[in-house]
Structure 1
Amino acid sequence: MTQRITLFGIPNCDTVKKARTWLQEQGLAFEFHDFKKQGLSRAAIESWLEHQNLDVLINRKGTTWRALSDAEKTSASDTEQAIALMMDKPSVIKRPVMLIDNGDQQQVNVGFSVPQYQSIFKK
């Protein structure tokens, strides 16, 4: 069974850089999707939300979040409005988002830490 790994993020994000480096050091093949340049579909965000809670997916600590109006911040608790916000301002998404597709099963992980990735890819 082949697994396909896609890492979503932006290339200049430090956490994304660490995740990419870790995956490369482990010899794991992955595709990088720059969602600022390549965009992000509503279907992709909806599929992530099938695996992760909205509160996990939205980065409430970043500069993009802090720059939002109070009305935008409040609207982010509604799933439909939060999806629209993430499509309009992808930097509000906690990075990286890693999709592991095993054909019949998908796994979505948000953020990066060495222990987190070690447990995901334990052999």
Structure 2
Amino acid sequence: MLKVYLYKNCSTCRDAKKWLQARGIEFEEKAIRETPPAVGELGAVADAVGLQKLFNTSGGDYRELGLKDKLPTMSRDEAFALLASNGNLVKRPFVVGEGVALTGFKAADWEKALA
């Protein structure tokens, strides 16, 4: 089943959830801050979209940790460990499922991936 990691106060996440519901797409909703994606899920999505796109670059935690400068020298394992321990760092919505790997919400990309 499709797993969709969302943050309830995020308007983009609400839009994505409405989009899925309007199309009758079944999904398991996960609270991204309380239960960040597991390392295996992060790896699957990173393979599809790239490591950099996993990070919520507009978030306060990203800036406070200075990740703009640290990320280029960080190993994949270090990046995954950081993301798996802090859901605020993960770009949302974060979607993983059989043959599906998405971050952020762009209706055209979601239409293509979930058609």
Q: TM-score range by the shorter chain?
A: 0.7 to 0.9
TM-score normalised by the chain length of structure 2: 0.82
Q: Is 1:92 paired with 2:85?
A: no
Q: Deviations over 1:66-105 (max 9, x none)?
A: 222x3x443323222211221232211111111131xxxx
Q: Quick one: which amino acid aligns to residue 106 of structure 2?
A: S
TM-score normalised by the chain length of structure 1: 0.77
Task: Work out the CA distance in 2 between the residues paired with 1:119 and 1:22.
Answer: 13
* Unpaired stretches in structure 2, ≥5 consecutive residues: none
CA RMSD of aligned residues (A): 1.9
Moved over 4 A (4+): none
The equivalences for 1:22-33 within 5 A come to: 22-33=19-30
Higher Rg: 1
Q: Is the 8 A contact 1:76 1:85 kept in 2?
A: no
C-alpha deviation, 1:119, in angstroms: 2.3
Q: Which structure's residues are more often helix, by fraction? A: 2
Q: Give the number of equivalent residue pairs.
A: 113
The change in CA–CA distance for 1:120 and 1:48 in structure 2 (over 3 A counts) is: closer
Q: Percentage identity across aligned positions? A: 22
